[in-house]
Structure 1
Amino acid sequence: MMCFLLSLQHLLQVKYTLKRNLFLTLTSRIKILHNIFCQMEDLQDQPLLSSSDSEQYKRQGKRRRYLWMGICVGIGLFAGVLVGYLSFGLSKNSSSTALTSSTSSLSTRALYANSTVSTSNDLPDCQIYETMSCSSSSGDMDSKWESHQWNTPKRGETNWKKGYQDMSTIVGYARLTYGSGRKSCTVTIYTRTHHDLSLTYYFDGVAQTSNTKTYDSSYTGLLQVKVVAATGETLELDEIDFYWNLQPIASRSGDYRNGQKGAIVEMFGWPDADIAKECKVIADAGYLGVKLFPHQEQIMSTQPFENELNPWYFMYQPVSYRLQGRAGSRSQLREMIKTCRSYGLRVYADAVVNHMSAAGNDAQEHRNPSASCTYWPGKQSSANETQSPYYTASYTFGTNSWGEPNNVLEYPAVPYGPMDFHCDKSLNSWTDPNILNTGWLVGLTDLATGTDYVRQRIADYFVDLLSIGFSGFRVDAAKHIHPDDLAVIFKKLKDGMGGDLPEDWFTWLEVITGGESSLLVGDSDYSFTTYFANKMSAQGLTDSDIEKVKIWWSGYPNEPGNDGGRISLKRKVIQNDDHDQQNDGSSSRDIHDKGCVLVKGCDVSTHRNFEIKLFTNPEGVSDNDNDYPIRMLLSSYYFSNGVQSIPDGQSDCSNCVTTCDSCRSRGFAPAYVENANAYEGSDYTRVHRDAQIIAAMRTWMHI
């Protein structure tokens, strides 16, 4: 049942002609109190609250009951308190940033409160809409959900943002198809519309009715594309890069084999601008390249999760394939790649294509009736002022601009809609291939990679990665994508790149074997060994192509041969500690005493020796010069008092707006420091700068 305060708000709005800013302030205060009153103690089903947040809300629930008693005794007393509250404003409390007196924070709260006020179209009594659960074991989305999209607000409506454009009506993206030799490219603008529209396509400002245009290598600019409907709706895409305009990779001495051998530094938590400054250092050391962490647009929040603001794993919840990540904008990324390539250093991406953001983690408000009608606000994205809309069906209760229920599933900037996903079911088995493939991993909305459109869209994203200058990419959570689907995706990538893959390209798939080794690296039809290779061959990939589709070998260093020799050592990528292992309780792989995780208490000398061993005599090697040609080294940051967030300033609790009492802050520290030494300090580890590790790597590379 909606609380009395919302009725009071309505009466105040009708009876009094308050100035707009005062009304927004009033709305904000009422909504804050409403949330406190309406929350109860049972929060065990709230997916977005940590245990400490739950305890906080339980305490609030007890206070709420006493406040209710006060209201029942005298509404007049409450009104007087409210007036006094508005008159004196909010004082800033240094121990809690949930309520702040700053103008910007107040404005944010007023907007949030105003946008979440119940309307006659909201479900009553804290009810929520049905989710897109499975009606069968197949994992296929029920067709009844097909129309549950188009949730983006229209221009001028509450919650509309600049980056939303007219995605309430029109969405789309640019598909690049290169000709042989990659000296020409056909750009096709794929669109979806809410209803029939007459569209005009503008390529660099020149109008045409066709949605395709071909360019050749004489074009040296960044292509601007805009789609305009006859009724005025517009969609403007991010700048388009072409492969032939890339900065050439400078030549260096060493056994790099045209990019098919070398050591890659994983720059965990490094912003683009800092990597650009570090490129020369890394190139001069002799490394093959650097690997970034997900750069596609991802969720960001002004509310802590597990007591941290924007924890690092939010990078693995994408909201679009726009290259507007936490580490930097598309233009910053482009400049960094250009700088690195000018020193002979290649750059590799981390591609998240198994899923999108988690259910309930999106741009609209949600509430949980099983958690005492707890509300949580919509999230933002790493694209900042040009952030894209994104919506999931869980915990929804309102209506959208078209008057339809807002239990939708869509990522308009991709664009993806409900039928591009598997239905909502738990990934509760690691040995059932159907569940492994179609289940929603920890609630992450799982893409239907068996459909042609999703396969094509992922391949087109890969083409964009190569077009801006990446030399290859890691595929996150690859074991949750069926090998059949991946084989088709790589064939579509090859077609998109002009019928052949770049000579220095390769990819590596995250396939963590664990207890399901017999399924994943055995002889099953969900195996990433011989079965997967045969599927790629059937799609037209050559032996040379297949050798470039590598597996990140989770069996290293403890079980280097747990595949029974089914995968060539040339297709295995190895490393000591990885970013997932840094997480408390991580079970991604058990390295026993044959490796160690630096930020989990491994002393510097021991860690250094394991990194040196990676280049001198790694486990399972018989020919160190040729086995395991790609080897990874993690350059991360130290955790601070248990806080695992990135020290880039975006996890500083001064940015918190909602439920900030328990926020544990991670302040800013520069990743690039000119004369910093490896392992020193309390922020970035800079392991890649260690002289002994560099010497071992250079010997392996014959430098």
Structure 2
Amino acid sequence: MRGVRSVVVWGALVASAVAMSGCSVPSAVEPAAPDVGVQLFQLPWTSIAEECESALGPAGFAWVLTSPPQEHVVGEQWWVSYQPVSYQIESRLGTRAEFADMVSRCGAVGVDVIADAVINHMSGQDAPGTGWVGSAYAHQGYPGLYGPGEFHHCGLTAQDDIEDYGSREQVQNCELVNLADLDTGSPAVRQTIGAYLDDLLSLGVAGFRIDAAKHMAAEDVAAIVAALPEGTRVMSEVIRGAREPIQPEEYTAFGEVFEFSYARELGPQLESGMLYDPDLSDERALHVPASSAVVFIDNHDTERGNAPLTYRNGAEYLLANVLMLADDYGAPVVYSGYAFSDRDAGAPTNADGTVDGGTCAPHPAPDAEYADGDRTCVQRWAGIVGMLEWRAVVGDAARMPGVSENDAYGFEREGRGVVAANPNDADASVAVPTSMPDGEYCDVVANGSGSSCPEGARVRVRDGLAAFDLAPQQAAAIHLGSRVS
């Protein structure tokens, strides 16, 4: 039912936006069901509910990925959310009641909730302590949940921590940076994890991001999720590593995986100023099949690590997201977090230690200047909103071979839309072959879902060519519905 509702809601929104902009979608073009997600990192449940209603639903996002909803250790760093001490849905991000209300309110506007599920491990604290709502714990002791016999003791390294990612046994049986590693091969452990996931499903979540899935044997994860209701969406975090024994393909039999290779390949192209077509067949080298892939430019881990592009890259970061949203590979997820200079810094908090949701500027944009703690609000950038509309109109149209000209690049999604990008530091023009009708079209990257189209945001299609004049590090996109009347 959710998918039907999404098509109806989003179809009405697209029609409304097109009517406002003076454009017309041909009657044969039905908007595709939304498929784009957004990760709202370390955003409180009440703020996510408000964002669903005011921005995500109207823009046409299909799902939102939340930070982990469980009790955690006490601290101010972002990573405390990834150190569970109990499965109570109480945390710095809000209460159980607020979480349930958020899921309901997001669902009412057609946005599914995907919860980040931390099930590989518990806390990484050596000393005993009490969690956010007072649950007592020790490193390998969690009353009512797990005792010492339900954790791995790998005995392969001096501190029981992973040292060699070339060893499957270490990666899946030793501790990841001192995090108490659950024995997910144990039926009792699987049952306890399953009860937690079932509890979240009872509150209406649509599925889970399985954190650190690579550190659990694929058969263990498969056994845990097999007990979940049919239709539960499962997205496993499996970081692909060259010459490592554990690869994402092991985890595709029971759900999707986050394909880390996608951003790793796109980033260097943008940095070099040379864009080119991927393999346009059903299979892409060193990628899982499109139907199994979740793709992204950065996330909460990679923006603090080796991501080629983040919010700090401004226009180039938007350009990368535009190309991802224009592609026909995988399910894209946009990332929205907060500015930081200390990689461990958590989001700003209130006096009681709960996370402050912050606010978005009236018209957030890639060229904004951020102070530490400011929300980046990428989900509200005009270019992102415009590309969601573009993606809805383009649907499943085939990606055609791209063209490079004057250091710019572009391609068509057959008969439905065209995108162009200039990753370089000088103005460039490119004429992209298209089967779209002649006429003037509005660039939805520049104009978003605006009610009118200024001359500077117009692109002309004539004699089978869409002519783009692009500023440095600019992307532009047109679709059948953006034709100016």
Change (3 A) 1:647 1:441: closer
Q: How far apart are the structure 2 equivalents of 1:644 and 1:253? A: 38
Aligned to 2:138: 391
Aligned to 1:648: 348
Alignment of 1:519-598 (within 5 A): 519-521=245-247, 528-529=248-249, 531-532=250-251, 546=254, 549-559=255-265, 564=285, 567-583=288-304, 586-587=305-306, 591=308, 596-598=309-311
Change (3 A) 1:668 1:678: farther
Q: Deviations over 1:506-564 (max 9, x none)?
A: 111111112344x223xxxxxx42x555xx5xxxxxxxxx4xx0010011133488985
Among 175, 179, 188, the residue aligned to 1:453:
188
Change (3 A) 1:700 1:356: same
Alignment of 1:192-271 (within 5 A): 251-254=8-11, 262-271=35-44
Aligned to 1:636: 337
> What secondary structure is seen at the aligned counterpart in 2 of 1:488?
helix
Q: Which amino acid aligns with 1:691?
A: A
Q: How far apart are the structure 1 equivalents of 2:387 and 2:294? A: 18
Change (3 A) 1:313 1:470: same
2:368 corresponds to 1:611: no
Aligned to 1:486: 221
Change (3 A) 1:276 1:672: farther
Change (3 A) 1:563 1:452: farther
Structure 1 residue 279: deviation in Å? 1.1
Asked if structure 2 preserves the Cα contact closer than 8 Å seen for 1:249 and 1:345, the reply is: no
Change (3 A) 1:465 1:249: farther
Change (3 A) 1:360 1:256: farther
2:395 corresponds to 1:695: no
Q: Deviations over 1:313-369 (max 9, x none)?
A: 111101111111221010110111111111111111000000000141541xxxxxx
Q: Deviations over 1:249-287 (max 9, x none)?
A: 6652358977xx611111112111111111121110111
Aligned to 2:150: 420
Q: How far apart are the structure 2 equivalents of 1:324 and 1:675? A: 31
Change (3 A) 1:668 1:416: closer
Among 116, 129, 142, the residue aligned to 1:411:
142
2:239 corresponds to 1:512: yes
Aligned to 2:22: none
Q: How far apart are the structure 1 equivalents of 2:127 and 2:381? A: 40
Asked if structure 1 preserves the Cα contact closer than 8 Å seen for 2:60 and 2:389, the reply is: yes
Q: How far apart are the structure 2 equivalents of 1:481 and 1:670? A: 33
> What secondary structure is seen at the aligned counterpart in 2 of 1:607?
helix
Q: How far apart are the structure 1 equivalents of 2:148 and 2:5? A: 41
Q: Deviations over 1:481-529 (max 9, x none)?
A: 0011112112222xxx3xxx13xx3111111112344x223xxxxxx42
Structure 1 residue 466: deviation in Å? 1.4
Q: How far apart are the structure 2 equivalents of 1:382 and 1:276? A: 22
Q: Deviations over 1:615-654 (max 9, x none)?
A: 113xxxxxx2xx31x2111111111x5375233315x7x9
Q: How far apart are the structure 2 equivalents of 1:510 and 1:563? A: 19
Q: How far apart are the structure 2 equivalents of 1:362 and 1:632? A: 37
Asked if structure 1 preserves the Cα contact closer than 8 Å seen for 2:299 and 2:335, the reply is: yes
> What secondary structure is seen at the aligned counterpart in 1 of 2:149?
helix
Aligned to 1:315: 81
Tell me the number of residue pairs that the alignment of Structure 1 and Structure 2 aligns: 349
Among 447, 469, 476, the residue aligned to 2:211:
476
Aligned to 2:452: none
Asked if structure 2 preserves the Cα contact closer than 8 Å seen for 1:326 and 1:382, the reply is: yes
Asked if structure 2 preserves the Cα contact closer than 8 Å seen for 1:348 and 1:472, the reply is: yes
Asked if structure 2 preserves the Cα contact closer than 8 Å seen for 1:256 and 1:288, the reply is: no
Aligned to 1:360: 126
Change (3 A) 1:390 1:694: same
Aligned to 1:338: 104
> What secondary structure is seen at the aligned counterpart in 2 of 1:442?
coil
Q: Deviations over 1:417-467 (max 9, x none)?
A: 111111161211101111111001111100001111112222222222211
Q: Which amino acid aligns with 1:263?
A: V
Q: How far apart are the structure 2 equivalents of 1:271 and 1:356? A: 22
2:68 corresponds to 1:294: yes
Structure 1 residue 702: deviation in Å? 2.4
Structure 1 residue 668: deviation in Å? 7.7
Q: Deviations over 1:53-109 (max 9, x none)?
A: xxxxxxxxxxxxxxxxxxxxxxxxxxxxxxxxxxxxxxxxxxxxxxxxxxxxxxxxx
Asked if structure 1 preserves the Cα contact closer than 8 Å seen for 2:238 and 2:258, the reply is: yes
State TM-score, norm by structure 1.
Answer: 0.46
Structure 1 residue 673: deviation in Å? 4.4
> What secondary structure is seen at the aligned counterpart in 2 of 1:270?
coil
2:405 corresponds to 1:675: no
Which structure has the greater CA radius of gyration? 1
Q: Which amino acid aligns with 1:381?
A: G
Structure 1 residue 671: deviation in Å? 2.4
Aligned to 2:446: none
Q: Which amino acid aligns with 2:349?
A: G
Asked if structure 2 preserves the Cα contact closer than 8 Å seen for 1:267 and 1:634, the reply is: yes
Change (3 A) 1:360 1:483: same
Structure 1 residue 296: deviation in Å? 1.0
Asked if structure 1 preserves the Cα contact closer than 8 Å seen for 2:70 and 2:90, the reply is: yes
Asked if structure 1 preserves the Cα contact closer than 8 Å seen for 2:83 and 2:123, the reply is: yes
> What secondary structure is seen at the aligned counterpart in 2 of 1:328?
coil
State TM-score, norm by structure 2.
Answer: 0.66
> What secondary structure is seen at the aligned counterpart in 2 of 1:300?
coil
Asked if structure 2 preserves the Cα contact closer than 8 Å seen for 1:268 and 1:635, the reply is: yes
Aligned to 1:381: 131
Q: Deviations over 1:588-612 (max 9, x none)?
A: xx64xxxx122xx42x111111111
Structure 1 residue 688: deviation in Å? 0.5
Q: Which amino acid aligns with 1:338?
A: S
Instruction: Please report the RMSD computed on the Cα atoms of aligned residues, expressed in angstroms.
Output: 2.9
Aligned to 1:464: 199
Q: How far apart are the structure 1 equivalents of 2:199 and 2:355? A: 31
> What secondary structure is seen at the aligned counterpart in 2 of 1:512?
coil
Asked if structure 2 preserves the Cα contact closer than 8 Å seen for 1:273 and 1:332, the reply is: yes
Q: How far apart are the structure 1 equivalents of 2:72 and 2:92? A: 7
List gaps (5 residues or longer) in structure 1. 1-243, 302-309, 364-379, 393-408, 522-527, 537-545, 618-623, 656-666
Structure 1 residue 670: deviation in Å? 4.2
Change (3 A) 1:606 1:428: same
> What secondary structure is seen at the aligned counterpart in 1 of 2:93?
coil
Q: How far apart are the structure 2 equivalents of 1:555 and 1:513? A: 7
Q: Deviations over 1:132-184 (max 9, x none)?
A: xxxxxxxxxxxxxxxxxxxxxxxxxxxxxxxxxxxxxxxxxxxxxxxxxxxxx
Q: How far apart are the structure 1 equivalents of 2:356 and 2:213? A: 33
Alignment of 1:424-435 (within 5 A): 425-435=160-170
Change (3 A) 1:647 1:487: closer
Q: How far apart are the structure 2 equivalents of 1:445 and 1:607? A: 36
Q: Which runs of 4+ in 1 moved over 2 A?
A: 248-251, 253-258, 380-383, 514-517, 557-567, 641-648, 667-682
